[in-house]
């Protein structure tokens, strides 16, 4: 395997999603791959671009454009500078293309939609490590995606150091 693959990583700008990005970079991503970051914003969010892209998700946003101030306002996201710096380093050292896409709605369903939409070869998601009771009451995004996605899914436990 290797090269010219589409590796998806679910991000919500938490320490857990940073750990998933780092794990993917260290264990999965190879030269010439494309890393597709998938962010699912709340369906209740009121971002200006939501009305335009709510059903299909935003257009692919290249890494170079992620630092633009109006981007976070347009899509209603608060980008994490630690994550952006990590992505810059991964892009340079691994010689990979990094793109970002925003969806709105239920993260479980939208992550599975992203697998099909972006034609991902694999998907990496972080796990917050809910106990059995919280997982039963709230549901688990990672469990749902592992069960329903049409590509291999890796769940990264824990938080970034």
Q: Is 109 inside a domain boundary? A: yes
Report the phi/psi class of residue 31: left, alpha or beta, with left for phi > 0 and alpha for psi in -120 to 50.
beta
Alpha-carbon distances of 126 from 2, 16, 53, 68, 92, rounded to whole Å: 22, 5, 25, 26, 23
The pLDDT tens digits for 63-77 are 998 888 677 777 778
- Please give the average per-residue pLDDT across 16-29, as a whole number: 94
Residue ranges making up the domain that contains 16? 9-157
Q: Is 2 inside a domain boundary? A: no
- Please give the average per-residue pLDDT across 125-135, as a whole number: 62
- pLDDT band for position 42 (cuts 50, 70, 90): confident
Q: Is 99 inside a domain boundary? A: yes
CA dihedral 86, 88, 90, 96 (to 10 degrees): 150
How confident is the model at residue 36, as a pLDDT? 97
Q: Is 31 inside a domain boundary? A: yes
Residue 12 has pLDDT above 70, yes or no: yes
Taking alpha carbons only, the member of 15, 5, 7 closest to residue 38 is 7
Alpha carbon 153 to its chain centroid, in Å, reads 12
Count of domains in the chain?
1
How confident is the model at residue 71, as a pLDDT? 76
CATH of the domain at 104: 3.40.50.620
- Please give the average per-residue pLDDT across 127-147, as a whole number: 66
In the DSSP assignment, the letter for residue 76 is T
Paired tokens of 160: 């970034």
Q: Is 74 inside a domain boundary? A: yes
Q: Is 59 inside a domain boundary? A: yes
- pLDDT band for position 92 (cuts 50, 70, 90): very high
Q: Is 3 inside a domain boundary? A: no
């Amino acid at each position: 395997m290797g090269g010219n693959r589409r590796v998806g990583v679910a991000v919500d700008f938490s320490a857990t999603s940073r750990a998933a990005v780092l794990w993917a970079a260290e264990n999965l991503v190879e030269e010439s791959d494309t890393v597709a970051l998938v962010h699912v914003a709340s369906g209740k969010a009121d971002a200006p671009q939501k009305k335009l892209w709510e059903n299909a998700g935003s257009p692919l946003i290249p890494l170079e454009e992620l630092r633009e101030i109006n981007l976070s306002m347009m899509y209603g996201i608060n980008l994490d500078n630690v994550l952006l710096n990590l992505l810059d380093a991964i892009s340079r050292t691994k010689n990979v293309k990094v793109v970002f896409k925003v969806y709105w709605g239920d993260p479980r369903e939208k992550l599975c939609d992203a697998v099909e939409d972006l034609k991902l070869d694999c998907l990496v998601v972080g796990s917050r490590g809910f106990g059995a009771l919280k997982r039963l009451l709230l549901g688990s995004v990672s469990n749902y995606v592992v069960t329903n996605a049409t590509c291999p899914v890796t769940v990264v436990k824990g938080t970034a150091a």
